[in-house]
Amino acid sequence: MTLSEPFRTLKWATWLGWQIESNWADVRLFLLYMVLKPVSGSMMLVMMFYAAKYITNGRVPTEFLPYIYVSSACYGIVGRVMFGLSNVVISDRENYRMLKYIFISPAQFQAYFLGRGLAQAAEGVLGAVITISVGLLIPDVRRSVNYGAFDLGWLIVFLSIGSVMLWACGMILASAMLNMSRSGTFLSEGIAGVVYFLSGVVFPITVLPSWLQPVGLSLPTTYWLEGMRRSITGPAPEGSPLSKSPLASWSNAELAGMLAITTAVLVVVSQLFYRRSVLRAWRRGKIEEATGM
Amino acid sequence: MTNITPFQLFYRAAQARTYPRIAWMYRHKTWIFQETLLPILSVSALAFVYEWMQAPREYVGMVILGAAMTAFWMNVLWSMGGQLYWERDSGNLELYIMSPAPMMSILTGMALGGMLMTLVRAIAIVSAGMILFNVEFAPTSWWLLALVFALTMTALYGLGAMFSSLFLLWGREAWHTVNLLQEPVYLATGMNFPLVALERVLHWFIPAVALFIPLTAGMDALRQVLFRTPGFIPLEWEIGLLAALSAIFLFFAKRTLAMLERKAKEQGTITVKWK
């Protein structure tokens, strides 16, 4: 095996992943899909904000809107990568019946998953950028975003570490799927749901019951989302309920450090679990098994 | 050879397609976790959003109702809309077309089985929501609630039956089209917020058009019955609209299925896999 083989696998897997995600329709329809889906998800939260603001006679603080909007846009990347990687196993194994051929080919199996994950991540990042851009058309979002606080450097740092974190999570799920039937997609849906609930995506973790807050603080996605929000909209305004979050007093370096440490742990766990899962799946014939319903 | 009436044939075929879905519930126990506990997580997240914003308790009730109805919409899209597409891949579609049973009976069975499964999920979501968030569901009239729910389901599954033929004709785009019809529909139908909010923030035209999706009118009517909140249009109009949509979608479902069967027999390409 030469040094270039994993990169070649990575390159072609990324290309294949992008083709699968995009070549089902012409460019215009694909772009419409890329805009409508993520924007609608975030706009639903915007409508909830306005509904609550109207019924409470305007008592909902305006800074809540960019909080939930930016968070949900970034969460789209989480869902795409984590759910996407486990879905790769199902679609390649059961629909296209080609996973076994990838396994026995000279291609690096893990590099293949990484490539497919990169394609998903690219789609997720594109969706997030489109969502945030469209969000700036909403007057309240535009007015309450602190443009001076936008920090490209920290955004790149959090995006980079976060990409590794999401890939590690996705690999854990994909490795589990290698030994599960098609109906095992509940696992990735469940993890996505837990992250959505506990990581402060649509509300600060201070809203959670006190016994659940430590669980939220143990998730790397909590630090990642906080870092992404701060890089894009800046820290919570003084005196706002958002400034009461336990992470509000952390600096960007502390957030990035904690994210890096939890990501490193996840990477080690994902590698160990991946090797064990592949061996188990190979021995039990799961790599070529079509499980149907 | 015993004589079998068209009604008996319809009933037996529908029963045969309902049975696998019921049997799946007994054989694959993961649905207890997947179809009940997981949706409660997303319900809880959105319920906490309203609690964080100090909205009235009935808004939390709207989130719970929205989650329960989302289950039906997802079932209509995936178990009805995409089903014939996947049946083609597994080789069953040509058997359905060749068999003497009418395709409507096949879809009726799929609808009934899917509805039963989803009803269990919806009941679990509503029950958990009521207990966890102390939300009270006190309809103005239980008969009215049953009528609105029944009309909503009939219209919704009629739409699903129509989708099933259309998605099959659209080919590989079907999966992505089904995917595309999730979040935009949640937004347009006011899944987690009163429909009047769309009118206030955007334009009355958007919810007016969205009313032709059965979920929109159904949810708005259910909110009026359950929470006594003002609807986008009066309740009586929404009941009338749902009845009309039921008839329209069932009629077009029958027409598109007939077109599908004729196309399958004439062209022979519609049952080709991975098309």
The answer on pLDDT for B270 being more than 70 is: no
Residue A252, min C-alpha distance to chain B (Å): 26
Query: What confidence score (pLDDT) does residue A90 get?
Result: 86
Residue A56, min C-alpha distance to chain B (Å): 6
Q: For residues B44 and A202, give the distance between their C-alpha atoms in angstroms, rounded to a whole number.
A: 11
Residue of higher predicted confidence among A220 and A289: A220
Q: Testing the interface with A: which of B42, B192, B193 to mutate, by most A Cβ within 10 A?
A: B193
Query: Looking at residues B237-243, what average pLDDT do you find?
Result: 95
Residue B275 lies in a domain: no
A55:B184 CB<8 A: no
The pLDDT-based confidence of A80 (bands split at 50, 70, 90) is: confident
B45:A201 CB<8 A: yes
- Rounded (5°) CA angle A166-A132-B69: 75
- Domain span at residue B263? 6-267
Query: Looking at residues A177-182, what average pLDDT do you find?
Result: 86
B48:A202 CB<8 A: yes
The answer on pLDDT for B1 being more than 60 is: no
Which strand (E) or helix (H) includes residue A65?
helix A64-90
Amino acid at A211: W
The answer on pLDDT for B202 being more than 70 is: yes
Query: What confidence score (pLDDT) does residue B269 get?
Result: 62
Percent pLDDT > 70 in chain A is: 97
Q: Testing the interface with A: which of B187, B219, B227 to mutate, by most A Cβ within 10 A?
A: B187
Of A204-208, B13-17, B28-32, B186-190, the range with the lowest mean pLDDT is B28-32
Residue B92 — φ and ψ, nearest 5°?
Answer: -85, -25
Percent pLDDT > 90 in chain A is: 33
Closest residue on chain A to B39 (Cα)? A193
Closest residue on chain A to B192 (Cα)? A48
B56:A55 CB<8 A: yes
Of A214-223, B94-103, B236-245, the range with the lowest mean pLDDT is B94-103
Closest residue on chain B to A139 (Cα)? B201
Residue B2, min C-alpha distance to chain A (Å): 35
Query: pLDDT (tens digit, 9 = 90+) per residue, B70-93?
Result: 889 888 887 777 777 777 777 788
Residue B1 lies in a domain: no
Residue B101 lies in a domain: yes
The pLDDT-based confidence of B175 (bands split at 50, 70, 90) is: low
Q: Which residue has the tokens 């027999």?
A: B265
Q: What is the pTM of this model?
A: 0.86
Mean pLDDT, chain B, integer: 85
A37:B30 CB<8 A: no
Pseudo-torsion of CA B113, B117, B123, B129, nearest 10°?
A: -140
Domain range annotation of chain A: 4-288
Query: Contacts of residue B34 in chain A, CB cutoff 8 Å?
Result: 183, 186, 189-190
Closest residue on chain A to B194 (Cα)? A51
Show the tokens assigned to B116. 């039963």
- Least CB-CB distance to B198: which of A47, A53, A204? A47
Residue B274 lies in a domain: no
The answer on pLDDT for A250 being more than 70 is: yes
Query: Contacts of residue A38 in chain B, CB cutoff 8 Å?
Result: 183
Number of domains in chain B: 1
Query: What confidence score (pLDDT) does residue A175 get?
Result: 93
A24:B201 CB<8 A: no
The pLDDT-based confidence of B272 (bands split at 50, 70, 90) is: low
For chains A and B, count residue pairs whose Cβ atoms are closer than 8 Å: 121
Show the tokens assigned to B142. 């239980």
Q: Testing the interface with A: which of B17, B26, B30, B53 to mutate, by most A Cβ within 10 A?
A: B53
Q: Which residue has the tokens 């919704």?
A: B156
- Least CB-CB distance to B41: which of A24, A51, A194? A194
The answer on pLDDT for A275 being more than 90 is: yes
Show the tokens assigned to A195. 């992250």
Mean pLDDT, chain A, integer: 87
Query: What confidence score (pLDDT) does residue A220 get?
Result: 92
Query: What confidence score (pLDDT) does residue B68 get?
Result: 92
Query: What confidence score (pLDDT) does residue A293 get?
Result: 45
Query: Contacts of residue B24 in chain A, CB cutoff 8 Å?
Result: 293
The pLDDT-based confidence of B17 (bands split at 50, 70, 90) is: confident
Query: pLDDT (tens digit, 9 = 90+) per residue, A199-215?
Result: 989 999 999 999 999 99
Whole-Å CA distances, A166 to A14, A78, A81, A177, B19: 16, 7, 6, 16, 40
A44:B50 CB<8 A: no
The answer on pLDDT for B174 being more than 70 is: no
Query: Looking at residues B177-189, what average pLDDT do you find?
Result: 83
Query: Looking at residues A92-116, what average pLDDT do you find?
Result: 87
Whole-Å CA distances, A231 to A104, A197, A254, B131, B219: 43, 22, 14, 39, 39
A24:B176 CB<8 A: yes
The answer on pLDDT for B15 being more than 80 is: yes
Query: pLDDT (tens digit, 9 = 90+) per residue, B56-68?
Result: 999 999 999 999 9
A207:B193 CB<8 A: no
Q: A215: which DSSP letter?
A: H
- Least CB-CB distance to A197: which of B30, B45, B194? B45
Q: Which residues have a Cβ under 8 Å from the Cβ of A104 and sit 6 or more positions away?
A: none
Query: What confidence score (pLDDT) does residue A198 get?
Result: 92
Query: Contacts of residue A292 in chain B, CB cutoff 8 Å?
Result: 90
Query: What confidence score (pLDDT) does residue A127 get?
Result: 87
